[in-house]
Amino acid sequence: MIVIKIAELLEKKGKTKYWLAKQTGISANAIGKIVDSKTSSIGFDVLDKICQALECNVGDIIVYEKESK
């Protein structure tokens, strides 16, 4: 299962989804869907913008966790 950790990173940095939208130029609606894991795909260009804004690596915001059976 792919887990999006952007919300945790934003909280740790004291930033909001609105701030991230402004920094990346991505709509607040799209950022909200990504942060809330309500999207089925994320483009590399979007990942790049998010990583630049949060000064992090892709592995800091997207994690693979095995599902328990």
| Domain assignments of the chain as residue spans, ordered by start | 2-64
Instruction: Report residue 54's pLDDT band, with 50, 70 and 90 as the boundaries.
Output: very high
pTM for this structure? 0.89
pLDDT in tens, 24-39: 999 999 999 999 999 9
CA pair distance 61, 47, nearest whole angstrom: 9
> CATH classification of 2-64 is 3.40.50.2000, yes or no?
no
Residue given tokens 């994690």 in the structure block: 63
Closest C-alpha among 24, 29, 48 to residue 62: 48
CA pair distance 50, 62, nearest whole angstrom: 11
